[in-house]
Protein backbone atom coordinates (compact mmCIF):
# COMPACT_ATOMS: atom_id res chain seq x y z
CA UNK A 1 0.00 0.00 0.00
CA UNK A 2 2.96 2.28 0.59
CA UNK A 3 3.98 1.97 -3.09
CA UNK A 4 0.47 2.91 -4.14
CA UNK A 5 0.61 6.09 -2.07
CA UNK A 6 4.08 7.02 -3.31
CA UNK A 7 3.22 6.38 -6.97
CA UNK A 8 -0.02 8.33 -6.71
CA UNK A 9 1.64 11.26 -5.00
CA UNK A 10 4.61 11.20 -7.38
CA UNK A 11 2.41 11.04 -10.47
CA UNK A 12 0.28 13.90 -9.24
CA UNK A 13 3.29 16.07 -8.35
CA UNK A 14 4.83 15.37 -11.76
CA UNK A 15 1.51 16.22 -13.44
CA UNK A 16 1.38 19.64 -11.82
CA UNK A 17 5.07 20.49 -12.22
CA UNK A 18 6.80 18.67 -15.10
CA UNK A 19 4.07 17.86 -17.61
CA UNK A 20 3.63 21.39 -18.96
CA UNK A 21 7.19 21.28 -20.27
CA UNK A 22 6.35 18.01 -22.10
CA UNK A 23 3.49 19.65 -24.02
CA UNK A 24 3.44 18.87 -27.75
CA UNK A 25 1.10 21.04 -29.78
CA UNK A 26 -0.83 21.94 -26.64
CA UNK A 27 -1.46 18.29 -25.71
CA UNK A 28 -0.16 17.03 -22.39
CA UNK A 29 -0.12 13.48 -21.05
CA UNK A 30 -2.17 12.49 -18.04
CA UNK A 31 0.47 10.84 -15.83
CA UNK A 32 -1.88 9.99 -12.94
CA UNK A 33 -4.21 8.24 -15.39
CA UNK A 34 -1.35 6.25 -16.93
CA UNK A 35 -0.25 5.24 -13.44
CA UNK A 36 -3.83 4.26 -12.57
CA UNK A 37 -4.17 2.09 -15.67
CA UNK A 38 -0.91 0.24 -15.09
CA UNK A 39 -1.64 -0.15 -11.38
CA UNK A 40 -5.09 -1.59 -12.13
CA UNK A 41 -3.64 -4.02 -14.68
CA UNK A 42 -1.05 -5.30 -12.24
CA UNK A 43 -2.97 -5.22 -8.92
CA UNK A 44 -6.64 -5.59 -9.73
CA UNK A 45 -9.82 -3.54 -9.48
CA UNK A 46 -9.60 -2.45 -5.84
CA UNK A 47 -6.07 -1.08 -6.12
CA UNK A 48 -6.90 0.53 -9.47
CA UNK A 49 -9.97 2.19 -8.00
CA UNK A 50 -8.10 3.51 -4.96
CA UNK A 51 -5.15 4.72 -7.06
CA UNK A 52 -7.48 6.40 -9.54
CA UNK A 53 -9.52 8.07 -6.84
CA UNK A 54 -6.55 9.56 -5.01
CA UNK A 55 -4.73 10.54 -8.22
CA UNK A 56 -7.87 12.24 -9.54
CA UNK A 57 -8.57 13.92 -6.21
CA UNK A 58 -5.04 15.35 -6.11
CA UNK A 59 -5.48 16.55 -9.70
CA UNK A 60 -8.81 18.15 -8.85
CA UNK A 61 -7.38 19.96 -5.84
CA UNK A 62 -4.30 21.14 -7.77
CA UNK A 63 -6.34 22.33 -10.80
CA UNK A 64 -8.83 24.30 -8.76
CA UNK A 65 -11.88 23.14 -10.72
CA UNK A 66 -14.78 21.01 -9.58
CA UNK A 67 -13.40 18.74 -6.87
CA UNK A 68 -14.32 15.13 -7.42
CA UNK A 69 -14.89 14.94 -11.19
CA UNK A 70 -11.47 13.53 -12.06
CA UNK A 71 -11.44 11.49 -8.87
CA UNK A 72 -14.67 9.78 -9.89
CA UNK A 73 -13.72 9.17 -13.53
CA UNK A 74 -10.24 7.87 -12.72
CA UNK A 75 -11.59 5.64 -9.94
CA UNK A 76 -14.19 4.15 -12.29
CA UNK A 77 -11.59 3.64 -15.03
CA UNK A 78 -9.18 1.96 -12.59
CA UNK A 79 -11.91 -0.33 -11.30
CA UNK A 80 -13.21 -1.31 -14.75
CA UNK A 81 -9.75 -1.97 -16.11
CA UNK A 82 -8.86 -3.96 -13.00
CA UNK A 83 -11.92 -6.14 -13.63
CA UNK A 84 -11.05 -6.51 -17.31
CA UNK A 85 -7.49 -7.41 -16.36
CA UNK A 86 -8.68 -10.80 -15.18
CA UNK A 87 -10.42 -11.43 -18.50
CA UNK A 88 -7.82 -10.06 -20.93
CA UNK A 89 -4.26 -11.05 -21.64
CA UNK A 90 -2.92 -7.86 -20.06
CA UNK A 91 0.72 -8.89 -19.99
CA UNK A 92 0.81 -8.29 -23.73
CA UNK A 93 1.75 -4.69 -24.68
CA UNK A 94 -0.58 -5.01 -27.68
CA UNK A 95 -3.41 -5.07 -25.14
CA UNK A 96 -2.02 -2.52 -22.69
CA UNK A 97 -1.30 0.38 -25.04
CA UNK A 98 -4.56 0.31 -27.06
CA UNK A 99 -6.40 -0.24 -23.77
CA UNK A 100 -4.73 2.86 -22.35
CA UNK A 101 -5.72 4.90 -25.41
CA UNK A 102 -9.31 3.62 -25.38
CA UNK A 103 -9.67 4.23 -21.65
CA UNK A 104 -8.27 7.74 -21.99
CA UNK A 105 -10.97 8.49 -24.57
CA UNK A 106 -13.67 6.88 -22.41
CA UNK A 107 -12.51 8.75 -19.32
CA UNK A 108 -12.51 12.04 -21.23
CA UNK A 109 -16.05 11.47 -22.52
CA UNK A 110 -17.24 10.47 -19.03
CA UNK A 111 -15.62 13.57 -17.56
CA UNK A 112 -17.32 15.67 -20.26
CA UNK A 113 -20.65 14.08 -19.34
CA UNK A 114 -20.15 14.90 -15.68
CA UNK A 115 -19.18 18.47 -16.52
CA UNK A 116 -22.34 18.82 -18.63
CA UNK A 117 -24.30 18.43 -15.41
CA UNK A 118 -22.73 21.75 -14.41
CA UNK A 119 -23.35 23.37 -17.84
CA UNK A 120 -19.79 23.13 -19.19
CA UNK A 121 -19.66 25.59 -22.13
CA UNK A 122 -17.69 23.50 -24.70
CA UNK A 123 -19.15 21.01 -27.17
CA UNK A 124 -18.11 17.36 -27.33
CA UNK A 125 -16.75 17.60 -30.88
CA UNK A 126 -14.44 20.50 -30.09
CA UNK A 127 -13.33 18.93 -26.83
CA UNK A 128 -12.73 15.58 -28.53
CA UNK A 129 -10.54 17.09 -31.27
CA UNK A 130 -8.67 19.60 -29.12
CA UNK A 131 -8.19 17.76 -25.83
CA UNK A 132 -9.32 14.15 -25.57
CA UNK A 133 -7.85 12.58 -28.75
CA UNK A 134 -4.46 14.35 -28.55
CA UNK A 135 -4.18 13.38 -24.89
CA UNK A 136 -5.14 9.78 -25.68
CA UNK A 137 -2.46 9.54 -28.37
CA UNK A 138 0.12 11.14 -26.08
CA UNK A 139 -0.83 8.74 -23.27
CA UNK A 140 -0.44 5.82 -25.70
CA UNK A 141 3.05 6.90 -26.76
CA UNK A 142 4.14 7.56 -23.18
CA UNK A 143 2.55 4.29 -22.02
CA UNK A 144 4.45 2.37 -24.71
CA UNK A 145 7.68 4.03 -23.57
CA UNK A 146 6.90 3.01 -19.97
CA UNK A 147 6.28 -0.58 -21.05
CA UNK A 148 9.59 -0.68 -22.94
CA UNK A 149 11.39 0.77 -19.91
CA UNK A 150 9.79 -1.76 -17.53
CA UNK A 151 10.64 -4.64 -19.89
CA UNK A 152 14.25 -3.44 -20.11
CA UNK A 153 14.56 -3.24 -16.31
CA UNK A 154 13.01 -6.69 -15.83
CA UNK A 155 15.32 -8.18 -18.47
CA UNK A 156 18.36 -6.59 -16.86
CA UNK A 157 17.32 -7.91 -13.44
CA UNK A 158 16.86 -11.41 -14.81
CA UNK A 159 20.25 -11.24 -16.53
CA UNK A 160 21.99 -10.04 -13.35
CA UNK A 161 20.26 -12.73 -11.28
CA UNK A 162 21.26 -15.40 -13.82
CA UNK A 163 24.90 -14.24 -13.89
CA UNK A 164 25.11 -13.93 -10.11
CA UNK A 165 27.43 -16.48 -8.44
CA UNK A 166 24.81 -17.05 -5.73
CA UNK A 167 22.33 -18.31 -8.33
CA UNK A 168 24.57 -21.23 -9.22
Tell which wins on pLDDT, 57 or 162: 57
Q: What is the pLDDT of residue 105?
A: 92
When the pLDDT of each residue in the chain is averaged and rounded to a whole number, the result is 80
Q: How many CA atoms lie within 13 A of 38 on its CB side?
A: 20
Q: What is the pLDDT of residues 41-54, one digit of tens each?
A: 778 889 889 988 98
Residue 168, pLDDT > 80, answer no
**Taking residues 134-142, what's their average pLDDT?**
88
Residues 142/103, Cβ–Cβ less than 8 Å: no
Q: What is the pLDDT of residue 2?
A: 63
Domains in the chain with CATH codes: 2-20+27-167 (1.10.1760)
**Taking residues 69-94, what's their average pLDDT?**
79
Q: Which residues contact 83 (CB under 8 A, 6 or more apart)?
A: 45
Residue 7, pLDDT > 70, answer no
- Rounded Cα distance, 21 and 146, in Å: 18
**Taking residues 47-69, what's their average pLDDT?**
84
- Rounded Cα distance, 33 and 114, in Å: 17
Q: What percent of the chain has pLDDT over 70?
A: 82
Q: Please, which pLDDT band fits residue 64 given cuts at 50, 70 and 90? A: confident
Amino acid sequence: MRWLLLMTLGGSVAQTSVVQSLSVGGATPDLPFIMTVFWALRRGPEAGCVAGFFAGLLQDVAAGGLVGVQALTKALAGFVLGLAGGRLWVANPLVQVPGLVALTIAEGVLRFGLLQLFHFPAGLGALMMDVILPQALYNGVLGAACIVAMFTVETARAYVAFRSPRAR
